[in-house]
Chains A and B, each alone.
Chain A
């Protein structure tokens, strides 16, 4: 009987050398795919306006119903009968930090998924890197590089990753400054409190974070049944369930509760929280994250 899911083979090795080599063989593929994904997004963005997140004034424009009141520039609005919103210029030197969770749990791939979670996270991060560097933003991997601007940002990021040794389980976030963005791709399976323990400093520093939860379909639907022994890939802990199907409902409730808690806390902080399933397309998440990073448009914004 085939298993439902297992650790993806390319990254399951323990020693660093083999892991680096395998990743090296993986990265070029990911780059190509990232480019393809980016192209589809760029097509819809033809002629992007130059306003967006930034620190400098760009323009006043009339307030559209549905926008948050906090964005109204009251000083300008007081001058006549109309209500205006102050748009900021898209700061060319905007810094976006990119980080993908390298922990062993990310290596998981179930039969229903097309790629492992790690592979998907890297694809997303590299694709964002490609997108951002094309728009002239500064990108960086915390703990691995300083912010840099380059047309081939994705390649450079990939080469950094290639030459990096063992990556720490948590990113070094001390370099992040105000008005920068960070994109974190991971599975966020730790308890919510633990997750926000290392994310909270970002909020205090005014960094806007975009969390991308990479989720395997098997993790979400819990398709196990019968007598099953579960192994945690990170700790090696084992649990044996006599009849796994009886656990499914409770498990799913907890799993979704965790996700909702994360999403609601992000919403409270003004962050975006995107869920991407590995059996779906990466571009779904890419478009969402990109839209969250650009200025909100028209109706229905935050």
Chain B
């Protein structure tokens, strides 16, 4: 099985597969046993059967199913294992497992643990004790030897650390632990990165009693680390490094995060082919850059990909120097007041403690500011001046403001960007013809080109620059008359800027305009910090407590128990006691980053040794025992096969074919489920033409006589047959041609479609619900008529109080409805004249009266044939079983004999039905018809 990573415990059993063709042959020959049935109409069936040839063999798919089942069982017995792993050869008296758990191990730590677990298993199988050491842990950690269970526990408890590994110290300890053990197996699970002193460390480790080296290193070194950052004027740059083995061109995304972990900027890192370094740039606004707290490379779940930024990399320090004395008393007149207010929001201000320039300038330069602002400082002492020029040439930005002192001082080539004329120029005023000058557009070559010009600013006094050849390129802002307002010139790596006005609002309104802030901010952005202040530089006594640490996976977490305060020092090493992170307090933190600015990732070298070396790779243990799944699959197929046989035997279909019965055998879950679906109790109601919503139009497009579906099948069938008989009689005898009768369920169906509803009272049926009776009541009030038929004329007993169950049920029903006063149909009622002249209304039984609504106000004063009166009785009650008399079967023959068996009685019953229908549809029309002869006579006919 070279093409599949499967091995078998008992490969000999696979020869059983040779039996499959035999099984196939047997299965093909054995048809399933048929169900035998006695069937008298066989001759009719034989005529049908001629067309079909009978299969005498199993269908091919069933054979295939069974063959597959057999093959699965054979495979399962052969004890197959998928992805079987190879055991590490164990020798000697002990196994030492040394695991690098530094930051580079974090992304695939689980694989390392799985690999180590296998080694522990192998050592356990060989009965060896295990020395388990982690190179990033503190050197006083216990390393064993342990038994296998303890080793597994300690392995599970171990975790990667966000610090570099310290191999020499740990290797020494391992070598000590193995001293007493001959020929120990040393397994080195390295993280693939070389560290200082590797060679010596390995020598120490392997020189002792080691008998064998198992060398495991990662297949690839995909880590990217951020090691340096710089906040430049126009962009935030940082440099990233990757392993020297990673030579292909590669791109990665880096992002900057603020103090709440929000992702506020993103950029792409591009490593060229063969390059191990890449520069990234965040080109985002200055304010946003100041919010950066950390930079991280996406997809790198390790500590080195995170670079923390503290105050040093963020804000510019600006030194302020002034010579004015009376600052404190009149702050608004202080030359630094407006500068301070303008700079405070985005820079750190540094002010000297004394006003003596000889002391002040060195004091400020100590702080390595990015920029120094000098407000109206004239001549500088020589020593201070030299240091200032030196600082400026190294990249400092010096901003000078004019004033009376500067105007009085002579020209200084090095500390002034342009040559100045001595004295100052006044514009406007009582004795002048000139006007104060406004500021024009900023020159497009200057740094303020994209700022809005401060048109509201006027300048009344200024110092004037001598016109020189390079005056135009040095001019950053102009007055309307073309004289420069701000001039600037590079000095070495630094910049020198001169405002030709004072920093207070005496010479111009510039310091109190919004543009002043914009201009200063732009200059600050152009400046660069001159070096960083280290924890030591502050001169702060005491150490910095851990504040936020970088976890091994690159997240910022609260400090763990092992983190110690950062001792002041030049650059403390990153150890397990000083893990990378922020140190300090909420007010101010110092970033302690994992990688040094010159860090590189070079791969570890396998030590040259005379010992036998086994090389392996990190991998999960992926061996899967396939026996269980195969057996399960075979069982599933067997179940399928059983179901298929049942299906072919027609079990499911047959069960549904005959009368519904309880599911007796629940031997199969599926069978029971299918049974549950099939044996749903059938609706006992007769399935008649019940108009549902869709068929409402059909229901009302033709007149129909309706009957109440009682739920008792025989009663409903008689009702339907009876109304069909009446319908046919109506068609034959009258102009009315009703459609097929409709069965209505008074609980749900719409009743208003029907002029007459026939309601046979069945005492065995369920009592209608109150809602249903309310619907019937509403139907009766709105003009419909219900014909109640108790069908108990001969079973009603004798005596006034005698009541059959049907009558009793009718009384119960009517008790819930608004029933008008009733009377038997009087002799002169219009119901007796509507079509036929009817003295009484027999049905299957004769003699029972037909009760209708009493018409008290009806009068018949002239002894006419019909009494007058309005309205149609909403209710009729009879006991004569009208439907029984009307009922006909499909051939048109009456279904029930009348009692007594008088053929005329059936005719009378039909006639009664006709009269009732005519009464329903024409109302009291016939009572008016009696006037026709008189009317005709009067018309002169």
- Where the two chains meet, the residues of A that have a C-beta atom closer than 8 Å to any C-beta of B are 1, 3-7, 43-49, 64-66, 105-106, 108, 110-112, 187, 189-191, 216-219, 221, 223-235, 237, 239-247, 250-251, 254-255, 258, 279, 287-288, 291-292, 296-302
Q: Are B729 and A240 in contact (CB under 8 A)?
A: no
- Residue pairs across A and B with Cβ atoms less than 8 A apart, 28 shown, are A1-B651, A3-B36, A4-B654, A5-B39, A7-B38, A111-B659, A191-B43, A225-B653, A226-B647, A226-B653, A228-B36, A229-B35, A231-B36, A231-B38, A232-B42, A233-B40, A240-B54, A241-B49, A242-B54, A245-B650, A245-B653, A250-B51, A251-B48, A258-B44, A287-B895, A297-B903, A299-B894, A300-B894
Contacts of B37 in A (CB 8 A): 3-6, 224, 228-231
Contacts of A112 in B (CB 8 A): 658-659
Q: Are B893 and A301 in contact (CB under 8 A)?
A: yes
Q: Are B654 and A223 in contact (CB under 8 A)?
A: yes
Q: Are B40 and A105 in contact (CB under 8 A)?
A: yes
- Where the two chains meet, the residues of B that have a C-beta atom closer than 8 Å to any C-beta of A are 31-49, 51-52, 54-55, 647-651, 653-654, 657-659, 725, 728-729, 732, 888-889, 892-904, 906-907, 910
Q: Are A227 and B649 in contact (CB under 8 A)?
A: yes
A208 CB to nearest B CB, Å:
16
Contacts of A297 in B (CB 8 A): 894, 901, 903, 906
Q: Are A189 and B41 in contact (CB under 8 A)?
A: yes
Known pairs A3-B35, A224-B37, A291-B897; A230 contacts B904 (CB<8 A): no
Distance of A228 Cα from B51 Cα, bound (Å): 16
Q: Are A64 and B907 in contact (CB under 8 A)?
A: yes
Distance of A221 Cα from B39 Cα, bound (Å): 12
Distance of A219 Cα from B42 Cα, bound (Å): 10
B256 CB to nearest A CB, Å:
74
Distance of A237 Cα from B38 Cα, bound (Å): 10
Distance of A153 Cα from B648 Cα, bound (Å): 52
Q: Are A44 and B650 in contact (CB under 8 A)?
A: no
Distance of A296 Cα from B39 Cα, bound (Å): 38
CB within 8 A of B910: which of A244, A255, A299? A299
- What residue of chain A has the Cβ atom nearest to residue B885's Cβ? A298
Q: Are A226 and B907 in contact (CB under 8 A)?
A: no
Distance of A54 Cα from B842 Cα, bound (Å): 30
Contacts of A64 in B (CB 8 A): 907
Counting from the closest, the 7 A-B pairs by CB-CB distance are A226-B650, A223-B657, A225-B650, A225-B653, A232-B42, A297-B903, A105-B40
Distance of A245 Cα from B732 Cα, bound (Å): 45
Q: Interface of chain A, helix or strand or loop or mixed?
A: loop
Q: Are B49 and A226 in contact (CB under 8 A)?
A: no
- What residue of chain A has the Cβ atom nearest to residue B665's Cβ? A1
Q: Are A299 and B729 in contact (CB under 8 A)?
A: yes
Contacts of B899 in A (CB 8 A): 43-44, 46
Distance of A46 Cα from B794 Cα, bound (Å): 12
Distance of A237 Cα from B41 Cα, bound (Å): 11
Contacts of B896 in A (CB 8 A): 44, 287
- What residue of chain A has the Cβ atom nearest to residue B725's Cβ? A300
Contacts of B34 in A (CB 8 A): 227-229, 240
B644 CB to nearest A CB, Å:
11
Distance of A11 Cα from B694 Cα, bound (Å): 54
Contacts of A65 in B (CB 8 A): 732
Most buried by A among B33, B892, B901, B902: B901
Contacts of A48 in B (CB 8 A): 901
Distance of A250 Cα from B36 Cα, bound (Å): 20
Q: Are A189 and B43 in contact (CB under 8 A)?
A: yes
Known pairs A189-B43, A247-B48; A5 contacts B659 (CB<8 A): no
A230 CB to nearest B CB, Å:
4
Contacts of A291 in B (CB 8 A): 893-894, 897
Distance of A217 Cα from B657 Cα, bound (Å): 11
A92 CB to nearest B CB, Å:
18
Q: Are A231 and B650 in contact (CB under 8 A)?
A: no
Distance of A216 Cα from B39 Cα, bound (Å): 10
Known pairs A3-B36, A44-B899; A232 contacts B906 (CB<8 A): no
B448 CB to nearest A CB, Å:
94
Q: Are A254 and B907 in contact (CB under 8 A)?
A: no
Contacts of B36 in A (CB 8 A): 3, 228-229, 231
CB within 8 A of A47: which of B51, B895, B901? B901
Known pairs A47-B901, A228-B650, A242-B54; A300 contacts B44 (CB<8 A): no
- What residue of chain B has the Cβ atom nearest to residue A49's Cβ? B901
Contacts of A190 in B (CB 8 A): 43
Most buried by B among A110, A227, A246, A292: A227
Q: Are B41 and A226 in contact (CB under 8 A)?
A: no
Q: Are B38 and A226 in contact (CB under 8 A)?
A: no
CB within 8 A of A242: which of B52, B658, B893, B910? B52
A201 CB to nearest B CB, Å:
23
B734 CB to nearest A CB, Å:
13
Q: Are A46 and B35 in contact (CB under 8 A)?
A: no
B656 CB to nearest A CB, Å:
8
Q: Are A108 and B40 in contact (CB under 8 A)?
A: yes
Most buried by B among A45, A221, A297: A297
